Structure 1
Amino acid sequence: MHITHVIRGQEFISSMPNFLALYEALGFDMTPSNERVTVGGATPASEEIKDFSEEGVDRLAGPAPSDLRENSGIIFDDGSGERLTLPVFAHMPHIMNEQGNKKLGKRDGAKDVLDYIRDGYLPEALMSFIATLGWNDGTEQEIFTKQELIEKFSLNRIQRSGARFDEKRLLWMNGHFIRELSLEELYDRVEFFWPEAAKKAPESYRKQVLALAQDRLKTFRDLPGLTGFFFEEPARDDSLFATNKQLKKLSPDETSHLLEIVKTKFESLETWTPESIQDCLNQLLEITGQKPGILFSLIRIVTTWAPFSPQLDDTLALLGKETTLRRLANY
């Protein structure tokens, strides 16, 4: 069978006697795991697999398929008569809902792994998250790469109680793995998540936009909301003023007056770079006497009509001077 370990849920414990009887009927070696050795005299099957690479698993998996006797459930080692060793069985505790009071189910929002992939989660983030549900390596490390899991994972450190499925932790972990990607790799992975208007933009411009958005992405589905205003005129959304605790204190006249000052100052800029824009923004704070939370939020909302955006100077620089001035004037 080429199986060293059978790892399944704790609900299958009650059926274990049936499985053992079936293995025995098929001619498996039923010697207690701490006494038996795999066919070929390799590592004891009861030992933890520390090498999960293809070569490492093959080393523990017993004879190759060519050693199988035709139409038989028994494996022989070149006529020696040694039988295939019983796999090591492990039964895992349940994954619990976010409250930790019952087994995770569809009513709690449980989804298929492929659903998470379609929702913009990275496979490596899902692997790290699932591996650390009820397991740790004895340190405070929370995020593991595939290679680190290969080197460190051990059944001995799996807890006996169920692990709580914390989707916020998964979201945080996914954001971490997104930030670790190179720009080229990230660009390849977000191909199907761009807003429709972005598909008409040059690749070089999309990469510039993506570089700004990368640190704020938690899933790839965040991409349209974070970048849509770079590719098309955003729809006005006055609720962004109403929900901003500081901006809603400004009267319409005060808002218009501030924006006129900003527009005039921006028009005077000879160079349009993140550095020159930031210098201009600092000067505007002195001219208007406003706090950054008010002035910068006002400029960001009027130029993007988005609840959040990348850093303001970078955002305005990439939008371009003409687009920035037009959107300020259109308020």
Structure 2
Amino acid sequence: MPAPPPNTRTKDSEGLPDLPRKGRGAVSNRPSHRFENPDRYDIDDGWSDHERAEWARARRDTILGIDTVRRIISRNTSPDVGFNTSINPYKGCEHGCIYCFARPTHAYLDLSPGMDFETRIFRKPDAARQLRIELSERNYKPAPLALGINTDAYQPTERSEKLTRSLLEVLYEFRHPVHIVTKSALIQRDLDILAPMAALRLFKASISITTLDRDLARVMEPRAATPGKRLDTVRALSAAGIPVSVMAAPIIPGLTCHEIENILKASAEAGARSAGHVLIRLPHEVQVLFEEWLRNHFPDRADKVLNHIRQCRGGKLYNAAFNTRMTGTGPIADLIHRRFAAAVRRCGLDGPRVPSDFSQFRGGDPQMSLF
């Protein structure tokens, strides 16, 4: 009998049903990543239905690993982002946001973009030391720098690891401008560094607010701060004199798009100065994970949401083409952009943005120039 095709299950190898776990976004540890044929399944090994249900509800702990790097500053040439250098102190993210575009990066570690991405976190303990070396190089030129742009720099493990804080200490010492996008209230811990940096035009913050619906946020972004806490964070940063932007990202047609105006209104009232948005992106394995999550949590509207996304992506769930991958195309995408622009004007979030000051940079340590 011919072997079954990859990523399928025969009758004899029927696995346990995939069930949402409390505190986690992905429903399963599938699909296997695109560099691997076998898939991962939970197999029935004879336990009773009650014991199986208890196992499915069991808490899955986070495992921390170490990621060693030769360079801490990454560079890109993408025309879709407003920076070309970034620092990511972590790989993987405990927030567990089901839509996260960074999930496929775990495939390069031979791990699943599903549950592994949010439970197998790799930290870079030498990040601050390496940053000091790179900023001290004679030929280094300061440029717009994003901290934690791939995975959140203030995810839960940062409470104990404090890698982001150590990086900020180095950036402040060198007077290097930096921008952080986060959905965590933990950023308030570092106001003693961030407020003085902002006063020197060295720091800006963006808080990601995808929904004001606490129940939706609980299953879509299970370990991120609640919507209310994010608005409180906007208030705290704004009160400290930090320029705060709100990112309505991602906007999900048919699921969160009706909240655009309310998100911007609440953000403006909390002290935000500007706003941005991105249409949901579902690269590689995220397509399967997102559909699996959607059909488990919102079976009544799953087809509608997926069809709306396809209408924004030329009939597919994702199109990676530059200049449109963040915005999508078609009538639904156009309507979302027009509504967003109108709400920005109405809420006063379209004022001039304060540019960062690169003239204060203190680099080029002569001692380091020997290496």
Identify whether the pair has TM-score above 0.5, normalized to the shorter chain.
no
Flag the structure with more relative contact order, 1 or 2, with Cα contacts below 8 A and sequence separation at least 6.
Answer: 2
Structure number with larger C-alpha Rg: 1
Normalization by structure 1: what TM-score?
Answer: 0.20
Normalization by structure 2: what TM-score?
Answer: 0.18
